[in-house]
A and B are shown apart, each in its own frame.
Chain A
Amino acid sequence: MNHYQIEVRVTPRPGLLDPEGKAIDHALASLGYEGVGGVRVGKVIVIELEAASEEQARERAEEMCRKLLANPVTEDFAVEVAPADPAGAGARGSER
């Protein structure tokens, strides 16, 4: 099994009002930042995952998103997969 670090980014779907993003948008404007717009607030979920391959890790992470991590009605998700080596040494995809 290989170790992967999964980073899931969950963001409010376009078109859906994001009151938190709007409040930050206003705050930035009141601080004098010009040209700011379209502020959206989401969350990042970091997961350590053991999987046979990068493809399998991605598949499983995407399934987790569909089942639990994101609400398809209001949120979009993006998954990033990177090899992780808990020992801190070794090459990409090393066996443990």
Chain B
Amino acid sequence: MKVAVITFPGSNCDYDCYHALKLVDGIEPGFRWHRETQLGEVDAVILPGGFSYGDYLRAGAIARFSPIMEEVVRFAGGGGPVLGICNGFQVLCEAGLLPGALTRNTTLRFMSHEVHIRVENAGTIFTSRYETGQVLRVPIAHGEGNYQADQATLAELEGDGRIVFRYSTPGGELTPEANPNGSAHHIAGIVNEQGNVLGMMPHPERAMEGLLGSCDGRGVFESLAEALATPAAGAGLE
């Protein structure tokens, strides 16, 4: 299966994503530059972390108008799996592929450390290798990860099981201290209505090898590989 990693000027997790994908059986990663107008033959797309366009104006605001993004929006519209990590999540929100927005951390600091996230829905194509309720240890590295949306949107996300990850304690509790950036409802990751677009602030691609601290991110890429290998790939939420 071919997975395209999009590189914007200022992306800095594109090679990490490439490396993570290489570790997963059956996945053949490749890069696409933001100026390209064709995705080519791909089975999934990853928008990596970083500081596309220097985070000028708002994180992700300018990247969404990159030529390649038109293709990504079209690909997602056709049910193609798209995963946005960190800055990629911000781009997905700016592009309107996911609702809400990522605003300044309530701490006003750039937060770069490990957090715990609870898997809220193991029925997505990105989380099938996890159990609902399972707690993962993965790093975050962002200044604008505070997820906000209006009450109606939050209620919809809650009601439809579209909150995929929430910041929690190692034991899976949702205490205020466990929420590193002030996100509404402890949201660390959400999917779109069709279930084929996931945005998440934590970095699963940085939690792939035990030697580097945690393997807990592997499940995201392995779930995706599994979904792509099954004929009904692209199927959404359960």
Contact = CB atoms under 8 A, between A and B. Distances in A.
A64 to B, nearest CB: 11
Given A68-B65, A73-B149, A20 B104 contact: yes
Given A19-B104, A20-B108, A74 B148 contact: yes
Interface string B96-138: 0001110111111000000000000000000000000000000
* Size range of the chain A interface in the assembly: 10 to 19
A87 interface: no
B48 interface: no
Given A16-B148, A17-B182, A71 B94 contact: yes
B98 to A, nearest CB: 11
Interface string A4-37: 0000000010001111100100000000000000
Interface string A54-75: 0000000000000011010110
Name the prevailing secondary structure of the B interface residues. loop
Interface residues of B, number: 21
Interface of B: 57-58, 61-62, 65, 93-94, 99-101, 103-108, 146, 148-150, 182
A18 B103 CA distance: 9
Interface of A: 12, 16-20, 23, 68-69, 71, 73-74
A74 B101 CA distance: 7
A74 B62 CA distance: 16
Contacts of B106: 17, 19
Contact of B101 (A17, A23, A71): A71
Contacts of A12: 103
B81 to A, nearest CB: 24
A20 B108 CA distance: 7
A68 B61 contact: yes
A19 B101 contact: no
B57 A73 contact: no
B34 to A, nearest CB: 16
A16 B146 CA distance: 11
A15 B42 CA distance: 42
B186 to A, nearest CB: 15
Contacts of A69: 57
